[in-house]
Amino acid sequence: MVDLKVKVLGVNFRNPIIIASGPGGFGDELRKHLDFSKIGGFITKTVTLNPKEGNAPPRIVDTHGGILNSVGLQNPGIEKFVENIIPQLKDLDTNIFVSIGGDSPEEFKTVAQIIDNFQFIKGIELNLSCPNVSKGGLLFSKDPTLLNHIVSLVTNVTNKPIIAKLTPEVTDITEFAKVAIEGGADGISLINCPQGLRIDINTGLPYLRRGIGGLSGPAIKPIALAKIYQVRDKFPDIPIIGVGGVMTYEDILEFAMAGANLVAIGTGIMINPKLPEEVLPKLMEFLESKGINRYEEIVGIAHKGGLG
């Protein structure tokens, strides 16, 4: 039997497969289709201090190899999250991580302080890279001073592991990973959606009401792999959550080999909500066929001479 367990961020994961922030919402719909006790973890949709209605529709449009979305951080706000969503999350038999966002650094701090009260929550992912909001959003992971400020503010108010989720839209991702690590981040999530646009040629207007959206799905997989590879190269020990276009067990292997300790699935569960459990037997079969006993042996192997 191949051992898929992962120990990272001070947390034991039964396997490396987790759900990316957003497409799985807060788990209420997904739990009808997916057995959470089969997966390593779940990252909630981003929660902010105040409720957000999100952007006006249309908010999603297809494109080759993926989708463009412009949801705009729709969420009920932290108060309702605590009241209505926390009790449901508690029932999910997997590691729960909460993604938080905000219009300002102080908002991140306040939301993190509240999340800190809930012991069952294993960690906090900072959404520093949302392409679909007018305040903050992408700016937070493109401005090193702001990035450092937010990460330090949050790490000062909680002992939970903090994961900084970064945009790929910078010249040198390792510079931003460095800033986040220096600010106190325990791990890095790579990548959030790069920006994209589609135009309806019959109207001459963007398909999405907000115009530009965030691109996700297989189209961004090579970008995610490149960013993970670069960060793993510079920081051999930093925990990395790889995310971007994972649809198959082969994708998971590529992410792991590039350097991802955990691999998150987003758009993939919108197409097949059972995907995270369906890939597991094939993943084990592959590792077994290569004589590899533990999944953790292949993490970052592309930097260590490959499978040999």
8 A C-beta contact, residue 12 and residue 5: yes
The span from the CA of 283 to the CA of 16, in Å, is 11
Provide, rounded to whole angstroms, the least separation between the CB of residue 188 and ligand FMN: 12
Strand partners, 119: none
Which residue lies nearer to ligand FMN by CB, 2 or 25?
25
Q: How far apart are the first and last CA of the chain?
A: 22
Site string for ligand FMN, 197-236 (x = CB under 6 A): -------------------xx--x----------------
The span from the CA of 189 to the CA of 227, in Å, is 10
Which residue lies nearer to ligand FMN by CB, 46 or 155?
46
Q: Which one of the listed residues 30, 130, 153, 220 is annotated catalytic?
A: 130
16 binds ligand FMN (CB under 6 A): no
Q: Which stretch binds ligand FMN (CB under 6 A): 140-148, 179-187, 259-267, 285-293?
A: 259-267
54 to 83, contacts with ligand FMN by CB under 6 A? Answer: 69, 71, 73
Which residue lies nearer to ligand FMN by CB, 94 or 99?
99
Active site residue 130: yes
HSE, side-chain direction, 13 A CA sphere, residue 286: 16
Count of residues of this chain found to bind ligand FMN when the rule CB under 6 A is applied: 25
Provide, rounded to whole angstroms, the least separation between the CB of residue 265 and ligand FMN: 5
Q: Which stretch binds ligand FMN (CB under 6 A): 84-92, 156-164, 262-270, 290-298?
A: 262-270
Catalog residues that contact ligand FMN under the rule CB under 6 A. Answer: 20-23, 45-46, 69, 71, 73, 99, 127, 165, 192-193, 216-217, 220, 243-246, 265-268
